[in-house]
Copies of this chain bind each other. A is one copy, B any other.
Amino acid sequence: MKRLTALDLGFIHLERRNQPLHVAYLTLVRPPADAPADFVQTLVARLRSYATPLPPFNQRLESRLGKGFWVEDPEFDIEQHVIHLALPKPGTMAQLLAMVSRMHASHLDRAYPLWRTYIIEGVEGGQVAIYSKVHHAVADGVAGTRLFLRSMSADASEILPPPWASPPLGRRPRPSNLLAAPVDGVVKFASRFGGAFDNVPAIWRELRQTAKERREGHPDALNGTCAPATILNRPISASRRYLARSYPLARIKAAGRTLGCTVNDIMLAMCSHALRQYLLDQRALPAEPLIVGVPMSTRRDKSDVGNQISFLLANLGTHLADPAERLRVIKASVEHSKARFATMKPGAILGYAAAQMAPGLANMLFAPKRGHLAFNLVISNVPGPRSPVYWQGCAVEGMFPVSVLADGMALNITASSRADALDFGVLACRRTLPKVESLMDYLGDGLEAVERLARVAIAVGKPVAFASAVD
């Protein structure tokens, strides 16, 4: 029996009928060329044979006197957790995404351990889809990825136990180079979260500093009250629209190298372009720039359960028509946020972020109101495998994150890096955001716009406008 942390318990208490708080992955794998016709049936049977999971997969939630505990479930039943599905013919990606949208809208039953894996056959072209969900109180995105990566191998012939039967990292040797370095290195000065209260004086100092910078007109200082009201910040329905597409990491990295930007900067620029276009289509582009919350893992050990997250705030520059100007604004605001975090002790980061977000979080749960939005949406980038990986003998061809929405936060964009691709998962409220499918095409347009900037930079010998602005 283990007591839930305050943050994990928060994810239980903040869950609503229209706001389930689980996170998931949609993974696409390709069975071996010589796989028999009943390959998926055999796969499901093999997965179900791991019927005695390890913690936290064998634990369910129990509430006692208002406190939450994880307790072992003596009646664990693998049939409740590993589900075999099929797409009807022809099994298009659109059909798969519609199915994932419905599955992600449905709650996990708190009477059972809070995870479920669906194995979906019948995908056009021969791939098999795996939709795996786990409650946010059990694992955050990074921990979830690590849990999943544990069961993957660089070797097609090595079949490892599934995540729920795989001993945690640290208990057995694993090739650590499977996992990419956490994006942008923010975690490198962060450590295991603990004792937020010890950091209260530091947090107040930081908040005073932020307020002072804003009074003095520092252009890159952001706090929890800068985000404009948008259509993204309305109450949500219980229905979802999930979209997924991969973009080559090589293109993103090449543009970044030329322009002196990180993968994260380029990803934010793609999102900025897409959101600007989408909001223009909807005649809903605010005059002020969208502010995004960028979760950063604050773990630096290899632990893969529980939540250790913090946020950066970044200015997306969506009010600017010029892609070069937008990229400059994004880069400057991210660097300002990071510099601020760099001066804080690890434990203070989470407390600072929580304090800064408090009005916004409260807002998320009630009516959004201008002046009290912490950010317009969350965009994150979760590190995935660095080199090609296999799962149950199948090549992994896509690992698309499926994140969380909340009242007042009707859109989420999360990407996961893989050997040669950045896999984007866009989750939207089906009712609040009409025609959100176009966002996926606009992300590609955004990448092309950045690549045009890079070509100009090469032609003139340095990043035009952009370089001069940040030098």
Residues of chain B lying within 8 A (CB to CB) of residue A109: 18, 105, 237-239
Within the complex, what minimum Cβ distance (angstroms) separates A115 from chain B? 14
A40 — which chain B residues lie within 8 A by C-beta?
A: 88
Q: Which residues of chain B are near A112, meaning CB under 8 Å?
A: 237, 239, 431
Contact at A88–B86, with CB atoms within 8 Å? yes
Nearest CB in chain B to that of A40: its residue? B88
Q: Is A111 an interface residue (CB 8 A)?
A: yes
A111-B18 CB under 8 A given contacts A84-B88, A86-B122, A88-B121: yes
Interfacial chain B residues near A83, Cβ < 8 Å:
102
Residues of B within 8 A of A85 (CB): 88
Q: Which residue of B lies closest to A17 (CB)?
A: B107
- Name the interface residues of A409-423: CB closer than 8 Å to any CB of B: none
Within 8 A of B (CB), among A333-355: none
Q: Is A449 an interface residue (CB 8 A)?
A: no
- In the bound assembly, the distance between CA atoms of A85 and B122 in angstroms comes to 11
* Beta-carbon contact of A111 and B238 below 8 Å: yes
Residue of B nearest to A88 (CB): B86
Size range of the chain A interface in the assembly: 20 to 34
CB pair B80–A111 under 8 Å, yes or no, is no
Q: Assuming A17-B17, A41-B88, A89-B41, is B80 touching A238 (CB within 8 A)?
A: no
Residues of B within 8 A of A97 (CB): none
Q: Bits for A13-31, please: 1 = Cβ < 8 Å to B, else 0.
A: 0000110000000000000
> Does A370 lie at the interface of the complex (its beta carbon under 8 Å from any beta carbon of B)?
no
| Interface set, chain A 231-259, CB cutoff 8 A to B | 237-239
CB distance from A92 to the nearest CB of B (A): 11
For the complex formed, measure the closest distance between the CB of A231 and the CB atoms of chain B, giving whole angstroms.
14
Residue of B nearest to A105 (CB): B109
A133: shortest Cβ distance to chain B, in Å? 13
Q: How far is the CB of A38 from chain B (nearest CB, A)?
A: 8
Residue A188 at the chain B interface, CB threshold 8 Å:
no
Residue of A88, A98, A110, A121 with highest tally of chain B CB at under 10 A:
A88
Q: Does A106 make an interface contact (CB < 8 A)?
A: yes
5 pairs, A vs B, C-beta closer than 8 Å = A17-B107, A18-B109, A38-B89, A83-B102, A86-B87
Given A88-B122, A112-B239, 4 other A-B residues pairs in contact with their CB atoms under 8 A? A18-B109, A75-B431, A80-B430, A111-B239
